[in-house]
Structure 1
Amino acid sequence: MTEKNAFTFEEAIQKLEVIVERLEEGDVPLEEAIEIYKEGVNLSKLCQDKLKYVEEQLAEMLTEDGRTVPFTVREEE
């Protein structure tokens, strides 16, 4: 497992919030700000990937006989 994948979705979001706060303060040296920004981009991608995976999992439903079928929700009229 790579280091970036060691974070849960919640941990990655929390770390992103800290990064945003630090960058918004504006008192971070340029080189450090660039590194922090890169870390934020990587964490953002990790969160997007995790959300996409969950979305794909929710798009299918397992039937009683083990088949997968598309999951749809009918909207009420």
Structure 2
Amino acid sequence: MAKVEEKKFEDNLAELEEIVRKLENGDVALEDAISEFQKGMILSESLKKTLADAENTLVKIVQKDGSLEVFDGE
């Protein structure tokens, strides 16, 4: 079975923005709106996790004095 690749942050963000546009427009049937809302919540959680992981990586790289630490990924 092929491994499913995760979408890039930007792709997930664009999809979430499209969902928000649809829901704000109000031209979506209730059942579809609920489904889109659920997808949006999942995307939102994924985006938050990606941002938190990136922040943690940057904290490891940047020293308190602003200098960069050599980080070998371990």
**Fold shared by both chains (TM-score > 0.5):** yes
Task: Report the TM-score range of the alignment, normalised by the length of the smaller protein.
Answer: 0.7 to 0.9
Across the two proteins, how many residue pairs are aligned to each other? 64
Give the corresponding residue for 2:64. 72
TM-score of the aligned structures, taking structure 1 as reference length: 0.74
Show CA shifts across 1:6-61 (max 9, x none). Answer: 21110010001100110011010001000000000000000000000000001113
Give the corresponding residue for 2:6. 6
TM-score of the aligned structures, taking structure 2 as reference length: 0.76
Structure 2 segments unaligned to the other structure (5+ residues): 67-74
Residue pairs, 1:1-77, within 5 angstroms? 6-61=6-61, 71-73=63-65
Indicate the structure with greater strand content: 1
Structure 1 segments unaligned to the other structure (5+ residues): 62-69
The aligned amino acid for 1:35 is S
The aligned amino acid for 2:56 is E
Name the Cα RMSD after superposition.
1.8
